Amino acid sequence: MKIAYFTDTFTPELNGVTNTLAKLRPYLDRNNIQYAFFAPDYGRISGAGFVFQD
């Protein structure tokens, strides 16, 4: 199974969404589920406005 998550918030922001995604990632890893997060980079990583995080 492959899952893509699209979110308008991600770390380093702190809120319920980022907390949930942080807890979800280990679950997906433990169950060998392929996933990708597509989230804003707030101009800190690529400057492109979004970032792919796997």
* Of residues 5, 8, 17, the one with CA closest to residue 40: 8
pLDDT in tens, 1-54: 889 989 888 777 788 888 898 899 899 999 999 988 888 776 665 444 555 555
Q: What is the structure's pLDDT at 48? A: 47
Q: What is the structure's pLDDT at 1? A: 83
pTM of the model: 0.67
Chain center to CA of 54: 7
Question: Rounded distance, CA 18 to CA 7, Å?
Answer: 9
